[in-house]
């Protein structure tokens, strides 16, 4: 290779290494390869992981007849792909009489040959084919063969790398979707159970409580002396049961969250759960007159719930500050306690869901989550949850 070619080769290798997507890798590399190899045109077929078919993945300078009709001549079987699949393209570089070119350029028999470089993975599996249309009447010398072989190797390595990368990204996106679906299903299930409990068990207990009162009011003298204290006991038990049901309903999914939104739900939660536990709570809200989407409200509520539960359970805190700051396009929630704090870098001694769950909930709505803590310094969490404008809504449900 001449000095100029070495430079092009270096640039090519660099751009292949930097590419993050298949498109970037191929679109960046193929024109340079065509130039470097002194070819007229070039194209790359890649094996589809699912169907095993070889599909056109990139092309440069294709002769016009091959471009026409949405490049339909570039689909389907051809000799080189057939030979590749039959294991006949054994050389690093092969010269193939191409049927596509024969049909597309019937008047130019000297342009029917292309070089085919099988693209092999590290494990030796064929992942694709790089074809270069040789210049009319040109033939391949030793130096050209070496260049093509090296190019084929560079491309194969890069393709495999970005394919693995894209696969990992897809897998991660699928996991995200799955987690989101699971969380949504969990919230729906909680809402349904809460509703059922309220509508059925709750109604029965309410009716029972009323009937006991009615019964007691209509007891005769003699009966009153005999069973009034028993009835009182049943009444107390019924009322306790009813209270338990209300608490369960609330813990499953507070109806106020769906009906009146985040701030109202958090305010109720402070009154029912935090203040009775002896916590001094300051709730500060700003700009919260409109409702955000249900996903964001749920995420914000569950994050506040987890952070404050942590403060109650672990922090030995006496004061809690909860902030809800809703802007045009996002809501930021922050919870700070004045407790013992902890080392956030220390490896967890057991698998827990709380801190990771808060981060996951924030990230699932494309938000961010920050945990700030140190021994003796108290703990603060901040979650910023954006919502796209079309998902914003008035206080409508
Ligand atoms: N506000 C806090 N103050 C002190 N320590 C905390 C606080 N929040 C979390 N931690 C520590 O981090 C650990 C993990 O929290 P988390 O993931 O919520 O799990 P869990 O609450 O089930 O223990 C807790 O066990 C506790 O040691
Ligand atoms: Mg926890």
User: Phi/psi at 130 (nearest 5 deg)?
Assistant: -105, 120
- Segments forming the whole domain that contains residue 376: 261-391
Which residues have C-beta within 8 Å of that of residue 85, sequence separation ≥ 6? Answer: none
When divided into structural domains, the chain yields a total of: 3
Distance between Cα 309 and ligand 1 center (Å): 9
Tell me the mean pLDDT in the region 178-198. 91
CA distance 385 to 84: 52
**Do 359 and 295 fall into the same domain?**
yes
**From CA 355, how far away is CA 290, in angstroms rounded?**
28
Indicate which residue's Cα is closest to atom 3 of ligand 1.
315
Residue whose CA lies nearest to ligand 1 atom number 22: 352
Cα(379) to centroid(ligand 1), Å: 10
Domain boundary among 172, 201, 236: 172
**27 and 110, same domain (yes or no):** yes
Q: Could you give the CA distance from residue 397 to residue 390 in angstroms, rounded to a whole number? A: 16
In a shared domain, residues 231 and 364 = no
Which of the ligands is closest to the CA of residue 381?
Answer: 1
The predicted-structure confidence for 342-352, as pLDDT tens digits, reads as follows: 999 988 777 77
In a domain, residue 397? The reply is no
43-97 pLDDT per residue, tens: 999 998 888 888 999 999 998 888 888 888 888 778 888 888 888 887 888 888 8
Look at residues 76, 68, 21 and name the one whose alpha carbon lies nearest to residue 45: 76
Cα-Cα-Cα-Cα torsion 57, 58, 64, 67, nearest 10 degrees, comes to 30
| Closest ligand to residue 352's CA | 1
396 pLDDT higher than 80: no
Confidence category of residue 204, pLDDT binned at 50, 70, 90: very high
**Do 184 and 95 share a structural domain?**
no
pTM of the model: 0.71
Per-residue pLDDT tens for 304-363? 999 999 999 999 999 999 999 998 889 999 999 999 999 999 887 777 789 999 999 999
Q: Tell me whether strands 280-286 and 368-373 are parallel, antiparallel or unpaired.
A: unpaired
One domain, residues 158 and 56: yes
Please give the share of the chain, as a percent, with pLDDT higher than 70. Answer: 96
- CATH number of residue 291's parent domain: 3.30.565.10
From the CA of 371, which ligand is nearest? Answer: 1
Ligand 1, CB cutoff 6 Å, lining residues: 310-311, 313-315, 337, 339-342, 352, 354-355, 379
Whose C-alpha lies nearest to ligand 1, atom 8? 310
Percent of the chain with pLDDT over 90: 48
Whether residue 371 has pLDDT greater than 90: yes
* Cβ-Cβ contacts under 8 Å for 60 (sequence gap 6 or more): 30, 31, 34, 41, 42, 43
pLDDT tens for residues 31-40? 999 988 888 9
Q: In Å, how far are 303, 315, 343, 374 from 377, measured between CA atoms? A: 21, 10, 10, 5
Co-location of 275 and 287 in the same domain: yes
Task: Locate the ligand 1 atom nearest the alpha carbon of residue 357 and give its number.
Answer: 17
pLDDT band at 261 (very low <50, low <70, confident <90, very high): very high
Task: Give me the CATH number covering residue 167.
Answer: 3.30.450.40
Cα of 339 to ligand 1 centre, how many Å? 11
Q: Is the pLDDT of residue 392 over 50?
A: no
Is residue 240 situated within a structural domain?
yes
State whether 20 and 168 are in the same domain: yes
Both 134 and 218 in a single domain?
no
Ligand 1 center–CA 378 separation, angstroms: 12
The alpha carbon of 181 is separated from its chain's Cα centroid by a whole number of angstroms, namely 11
Residue 362 phi/psi, 5-degree rounding, is: -65, -45
Q: Identify the pLDDT of residue 390.
A: 53
Alpha helices (H) in the chain, listed in sequence order: 3-18, 22-37, 64-71, 79-85, 99-104, 142-196, 202-217, 221-252, 255-260, 262-269, 294-314, 354-364
Cα separation, 296 vs 294, in Å, equals 5
Q: Are residues 247 and 270 in the same domain?
A: no
DSSP letter for 270, please.
I
Give the mean pLDDT of 115-137: 87
**How does the average pLDDT of the chain come out, rounded?**
88
Q: Report the residue among 281, 306, 308, 310 best suited for mutation to probe ligand 1: largest number of ligand atoms under 8 A from its CB.
A: 310
Together in a domain, 234 and 89:
no
Residues 193 and 76 grouped into a single domain: no
Query: Using an 8 Å Cβ cutoff, are 324 and 266 in contact?
Result: yes
Distance linking the first and last C-alpha atoms of the chain: 72
258, 191 contact by CB (below 8 A): yes
In a domain, 269, yes or no: yes
Residue 133 is assigned to a structural domain of this protein: yes
For ligand 1, pick from 279, 304, 314 the residue to mutate: most ligand atoms within 8 Å of CB. 314
In a domain, 62, yes or no: yes
Q: What angle do CA 11, 12, 18 make, to 5 degrees?
A: 90
Instruction: Kindly give the distance from the C-alpha atom of residue 310 to the centroid of ligand 1, in angstroms, as a whole number.
Output: 5
Q: What Cα–Cα distance (Å) separates residue 153 from each residue in 46, 92, 158, 217, 319?
A: 14, 9, 9, 94, 63
Q: Which of 156, 172, 188 is the last residue of a domain?
A: 172
Instruction: Report which bound ligand comes closest to the CA of 335.
Output: 1
Domain finish residue from 252, 270, 300: 252
Query: What is the mean pLDDT of the segment spanning 283-301?
Result: 88
Residue keyed to tokens 């935090």: 274
HSE-up of residue 54 (Cα within 13 Å, Cβ side): 23
Asked if residue 290 and residue 209 are part of one domain, the reply reads no
Which residue has a Cα nearest atom 25 of ligand 1? 314
Segment 220-227 mean pLDDT: 86
Classify residue 343: in a domain, yes or no. yes
pLDDT at position 284 is: 96
Q: Is residue 247 part of a domain?
A: yes
List of residues 6+ apart from 311 with CB closer than 8 A: 279, 317, 320, 335, 337, 339, 379
The count of other CB atoms within 10 Å of the CB of residue 114 is 24
- Specify if 367 maps to a domain: yes
């Amino acid at each position: 290779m001449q000095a100029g070619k070495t430079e092009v080769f270096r640039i090519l290798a660099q751009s292949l290494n930097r590419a993050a997507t298949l498109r970037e890798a191929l679109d960046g590399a193929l024109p340079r390869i065509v130039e470097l190899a002194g070819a007229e045109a070039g194209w790359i077929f890649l094996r589809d992981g699912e169907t095993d078919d070889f599909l056109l993945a990139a092309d440069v300078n294709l002769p016009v007849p091959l471009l026409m009709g949405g490049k339909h001549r570039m689909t389907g079987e051809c000799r080189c792909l057939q030979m590749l699949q039959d294991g006949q393209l054994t050389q690093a570089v092969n010269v193939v009489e191409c049927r596509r070119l024969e049909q597309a350029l019937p008047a130019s028999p000297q342009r029917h040959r292309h070089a085919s470089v099988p693209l092999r993975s590290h494990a030796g599996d064929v992942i694709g084919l790089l074809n270069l249309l040789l210049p009319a009447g040109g033939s391949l010398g030793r130096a050209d063969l070496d260049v093509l072989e090296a190019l084929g190797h560079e491309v194969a390595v890069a393709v495999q790398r970005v394919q693995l990368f894209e696969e990992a990204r897809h897998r991660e996106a699928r996991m995200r979707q799955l987690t989101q679906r699971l969380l949504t299903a969990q919230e729906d299930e909680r809402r349904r159970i809460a509703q059922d409990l309220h509508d059925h068990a709750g109604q029965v207990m309410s009716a029972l409580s009323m009937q006991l009162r009615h019964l007691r009011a209509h007891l005769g003298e003699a009966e009153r002396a005999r069973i009034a204290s028993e009835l009182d006991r049943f009444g107390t038990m019924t009322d306790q049961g009813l209270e338990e049901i209300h608490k369960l309903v609330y813990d499953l999914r507070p109806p106020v969250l769906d009906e009146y939104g985040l701030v109202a739900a958090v305010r109720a939660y402070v009154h029912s759960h935090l203040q009775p536990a002896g916590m001094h709570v300051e709730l500060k809200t700003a700009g919260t007159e409109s409702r955000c989407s249900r996903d964001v409200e749920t995420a914000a509520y569950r994050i506040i719930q987890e952070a404050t539960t942590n403060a109650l359970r672990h922090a030995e805190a006496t004061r809690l500050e909860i902030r809800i700051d809703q802007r045009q396009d996002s809501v930021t929630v922050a919870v700070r306690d004045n407790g013992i704090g902890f080392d956030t870098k220390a490896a967890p001694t057991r698998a827990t869901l709380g801190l990771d769950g808060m981060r996951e909930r924030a990230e699932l709505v494309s938000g961010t989550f920050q945990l700030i803590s140190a021994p003796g310094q108290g703990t603060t969490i901040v979650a910023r949850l954006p919502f796209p404008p079309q998902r914003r809504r008035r206080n409508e449900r």
